[in-house]
Amino acid sequence: MNETYYYGQGKVYLARRLNDGSSLNWRWAGDVSELTVSLVVDRKTKKQSYGGQLAVSEYYIIEQSGTVSAVWHEHSPENLSVILQGNVVTAEAGRETETLKNVIAGGRYSLRYPNIRRLVIDGLNAGIDYTLDTLFGTIEFLITPTVQPLSVFYTYAGNINTALYTKKPEQLALRYEGINLAENGIPVLVELYKLEFDPISAMALINNSTSLAGLETNAVLMLDSARPADDELGRFGRITSIAPVEAEVTTQTGIVYNTASLNGEFITIYPKQKVR
């Protein structure tokens, strides 16, 4: 028996799944430090109740599913959209007018858009009556204005927003392109055809540990009913250990070299005499 061990590293890609089972373009999810696939079955049992011993004699699988858990470290708007179930909206640069009510000295008030370029408040002077945090779009008042409500005019630069719960969960496909470092870097391909991610259960925003924060994601693996039953491809997904491609190179000396393609490099395995 050949012993095969596994220590994996690689890239995780996600793609939107269409109703016919095909996938759109694959998007790299960035740095993923953990990726685990768990298969789940629901079964019914038959118990033997004669012979003086109560025991399970048979069981029947009535449901098959799975889960996928991963830790993402890429906090991109596209990744956040998946786990926050929100649309990514690019707000172009523009101008806005807002009204502030019940303003008091020492109060801090936020504007709709951050990343402020220029701001004017009628009848008030910046640095004397108020201070402005242009990056976060907040105003801190140093006095209580006598005339209220206040009209605030400002311009802002563009921003990328990912709102929470503004879209239904999307059905995605997952593709893992990795290598098995325990077996000389043999390529490994994992394809999961139909996933639906849960909203993230915990998103660490303030950190005091020595490691970077990760996004702990969970998804349900489902049957892709658009695919026919196939022993090679399956209807949930498949794992492929990609075999090296061997080729023969003939030199002018008549010696044939067996080579193998591994990680995009051709490696000579051994020479042998050409058979005439």
What digits encode the pLDDT tens for the residues 12-57?
Answer: 999 999 988 888 899 999 999 999 999 988 888 887 777 677 777 7
Q: Which residues of the chain have pLDDT under 70?
A: 1, 51, 245-276
Q: Taking the model in full, what pTM does it have?
A: 0.79
How many other CB atoms are there within 10 angstroms of residue 117's CB atom? 11
pLDDT at 261: 47
pLDDT at 1: 65
pLDDT at 47: 78
Report whether 104 contacts 170 (CB < 8 A).
no
pLDDT at 252: 55
Q: Cα–Cα distance between 213 and 74 in angstroms, integer?
A: 10
pLDDT at 196: 96
pLDDT at 270: 46
pLDDT at 269: 44
pLDDT at 250: 54
